[in-house]
């Protein structure tokens, strides 16, 4: 009762209507309308919070939708303009650039987000962390380029590229990877400080620049090399602004922090098997069709992937706004509720997009041009594989943001066993066979992420509930 009087003392009045803190509690009357007002106030505060974050997500989603629309238009112009042979080479170059960037990370971004949450308010200390991360990424990049460039050269040659064209595309891969090494670190810096509007401005201007370059090249000379160079210019443009904005929150003149470097190495060592395997899995469809199919099939798989860019809007919104908010939540029951809310939203949106593609498949395929108008069944298979990967990716991002990675070492053997079994029954020299293979390969990840979330919540309820009860 004393605690109630202390908290809600300003709502207590004596019989005459004037506050009197000196009178006994038993002689103090609590007005009925105050008891009604208190829960109303709490509900109003909660409603205002929901309204605030809903507005932020809608605003971010609309701007990000515009960014992805510009990116999609630029990509579709390339698909419709280049011949299948040339587009296959362009797709291989993009695939190997993404693989190299992922191999140069190996948990560094997760480590920066984890350690940065503790030190991001100290500008000098945060700068030391970022310098440590950049140092490691550069060393990892040298190792990854030594592996991916020879593979890229072979894949390009396998699909009909000349020696000169192979050398030129390999150089564009290197030139495009260098700015990406730093960009992922600077992006994490801005995300930790909630600067999503700045990130949107960078993304929007970058997408607009790429579209302008592709549009200009259409009137001059658009081929596989110039299209790849447009992406390289966009990567450097993005790096310039990310680095400039991040200096407001991090002192880049600081030397790398040795303890941070040690902790980042430990995280990378833990993530090494899964990191390498994830790099291979992210591009496995293109790689398999390159080995067992031909350039036409490579172009078809890659072109269908352009439609899947719709899900990058959701991925960016989740990673920039929703997941950081989830990471800061410390109340177990609210954490559990938020987890299922996020998954429910992802499933509903995914179902809506797949349904739209099923009803309007001709319109979707028209975007790709006449070379790909016959791929209606393959379109639905691509989207089914994409939504499954999207949900699995959201589950992993949520788990990783809370360091719920118990059992993550099972992902590699479970996926390999699944793929071996599937390969025994599928013809992966066709586009349809590769897409079915891609869909079935994601199912072990769904099951494993569900287990990691269960184990994480079990541990969280044990460790955080007593703290919440005592507070």
The pLDDT tens digits of the residues spanning 287-301 come to 888 888 788 888 888
Q: List the domain boundaries for the chain.
A: 58-278, 283-309+317-471
SS3 content of the chain, % helix, strand, coil (to 5): 85, 0, 15
Of the candidates 348, 79, 374, the one whose C-alpha atom is nearest the C-alpha of residue 356 is: 348
Tens digit of each residue's pLDDT (9 = 90 or more) over 353-409: 888 888 888 888 888 888 888 888 888 888 888 888 888 888 887 887 777 777 777
CA distances from 230 to 198, 220, 234, 236, 421 (A): 23, 14, 6, 10, 41
Confidence check: pLDDT of 236 > 90 = yes
Residues with Cβ within 8 Å of residue 217, at least 6 apart in sequence: 226, 227, 230
Q: What is the mean pLDDT of residues 75-94?
A: 89
- Of 296, 282, 402, 410, nearest to 342 (Cα)? 402
- pLDDT, tens digit, 9 for 90 and up, residues 247-269: 888 888 888 888 878 888 888 87
Banded pLDDT at 313 (limits 50, 70, 90): low
Helices 332-359 and 310-317: angle between axes, nearest 10 degrees: 170
Cα separation of 96 and 228, whole Å? Answer: 12
Q: Cα–Cα distance between 391 and 98 in angstroms, integer?
A: 20
H/E run at residue 250:
none
Distance of CA 93 to the CA centre of its chain: 21
- pTM to 2 decimal places: 0.71
């Amino acid at each position: 009762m004393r605690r109630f009087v202390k908290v809600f003392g300003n709502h207590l009045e004596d019989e005459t209507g004037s506050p009197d803190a000196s009178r006994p509690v038993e002689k103090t009357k609590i007005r009925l309308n105050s008891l009604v007002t208190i829960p109303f106030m709490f509900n109003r505060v909660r409603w205002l919070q929901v309204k605030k974050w809903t507005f932020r997500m809608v605003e971010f989603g609309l701007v990000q939708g515009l960014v992805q629309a510009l990116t999609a238009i630029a990509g579709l112009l390339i698909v419709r303009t280049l011949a299948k042979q040339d587009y296959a080479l362009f797709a291989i170059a993009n695939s190997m650039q993404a693989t190299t960037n992922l191999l140069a990370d190996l948990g560094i971004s997760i480590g920066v987000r984890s350690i940065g949450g503790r030190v991001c308010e100290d500008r000098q200390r945060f700068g030391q962390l970022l310098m440590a991360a950049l140092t490691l990424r550069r060393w990892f990049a040298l190792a990854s380029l030594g592996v991916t460039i020879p593979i890229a050269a072979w894949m390009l040659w396998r699909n009909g590229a000349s020696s000169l064209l192979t050398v030129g595309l390999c150089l564009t891969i290197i030139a495009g990877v260098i700015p990406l090494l730093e960009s992922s670190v600077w992006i994490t810096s801005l995300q930790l400080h909630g600067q999503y509007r700045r990130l949107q401005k960078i993304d929007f201007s970058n997408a607009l620049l790429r579209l302008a370059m592709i549009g200009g090249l259409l009137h001059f000379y658009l081929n596989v090399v110039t299209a790849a160079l447009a992406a390289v210019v966009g990567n450097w443009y993005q790096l310039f602004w990310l680095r400039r904005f991040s200096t407001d929150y991090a002192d880049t003149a600081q030397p790398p922090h040795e303890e941070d470097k040690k902790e980042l190495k430990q995280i990378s060592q833990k993530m090494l098997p899964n990191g390498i395997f994830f790099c291979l899995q992210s591009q496995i469809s293109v790689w398999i069709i390159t080995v067992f199919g031909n350039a036409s099939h490579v172009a078809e798989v890659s072109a269908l992937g352009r439609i899947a860019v719709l899900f990058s809007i959701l991925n960016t919104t989740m990673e920039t706004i929703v997941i950081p908010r989830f990471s800061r939540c410390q109340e177990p029951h609210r954490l559990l509720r938020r987890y299922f809310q996020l998954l429910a939203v992802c499933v509903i949106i995914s179902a809506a997009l797949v349904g739209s593609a099923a009803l309007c498949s001709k319109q979707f395929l028209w975007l790709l041009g006449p070379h790909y108008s016959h791929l209606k069944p393959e379109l639905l298979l691509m989207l089914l594989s994409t939504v499954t990967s999207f949900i699995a990716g959201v589950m992993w991002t949520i788990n990783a943001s809370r360091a719920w990675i118990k059992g993550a070492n099972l992902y590699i053997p479970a996926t390999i066993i699944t793929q071996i079994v599937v390969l025994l029954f599928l013809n992966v020299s066709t586009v349809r066979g590769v897409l079915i293979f891609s869909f079935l390969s994601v199912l072990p990840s769904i099951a494993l992420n569900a287990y990691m979330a269960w184990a994480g919540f079990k541990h969280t309820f044990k460790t955080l509930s007593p703290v919440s009860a005592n507070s």
